[in-house]
Amino acid sequence: MSKEKYDFYERVFDVVRLVPHGRVTTYGAIAKFLGASKSSRLVGWAMNRSHGLIPTVPAHRVVNRVGLLSGKAHFSNPTEMQRLLESEGIQVKDDQIINFYDVFWDPALMDL
C-alpha cells in the first residue's frame, strides 16, 4: 500500500484510461508498455482492483491476447463487458472480439 510513488496499479489504470473509444488493448501490451512484459498477470490483478475507482477505468477495453473477454466474469454482470464493447462498435461473439485485429490498440503506438 505504498502511496508516495506511482503504484504499478495506477500506471496500469493510466494506460487503460488512454485507450480510445471503440478500441481495445491487451494485458500483455499494457505490461510491455510499462516495461514489465513478463508481469502481464499483474495487469490482471490491477484490473481486479479497478472496480469503483474514480475516474472509472474502462476495464472492458482490456482483453487477453486473443481478444477473449477473459475478465467479463469479474464485472458486476458477466454481460456488462460485452454490452459495453458492443455499444462502442466492437463486435463480440461468444465472449470474443471478432474484428479484434481492427480494434486492437497498442499503447506503445499511441500518437504522442
Partner DNA sequence: TGAATGACTCGAT
Partner DNA sequence: GATCGAGCCATTC
- Judged by the rule CB under 7 A, the positions of this chain that interact with DNA are 1-2, 7-9, 26-29, 31, 36, 38-45, 47-48, 50-51, 59-60, 62, 64-66, 70-71, 73-75, 81
CB 103 within 8 A of CB 30: no
Minimum Å gap between C-beta 111 and DNA is 22
Complex with DNA: residue 8 or 105, whichever CB lies closer: 8
List the Cα angle 24/46/13 in 5-degree steps. Answer: 55
**What are the grid coordinates assigned to 17, written together?**
484510461
Minimum Å gap between C-beta 75 and DNA is 7
Complex with DNA: residue 48 or 99, whichever CB lies closer: 48
**Neighbouring residues of 39: CB distance < 8 A, sequence distance ≥ 6:** 8, 31
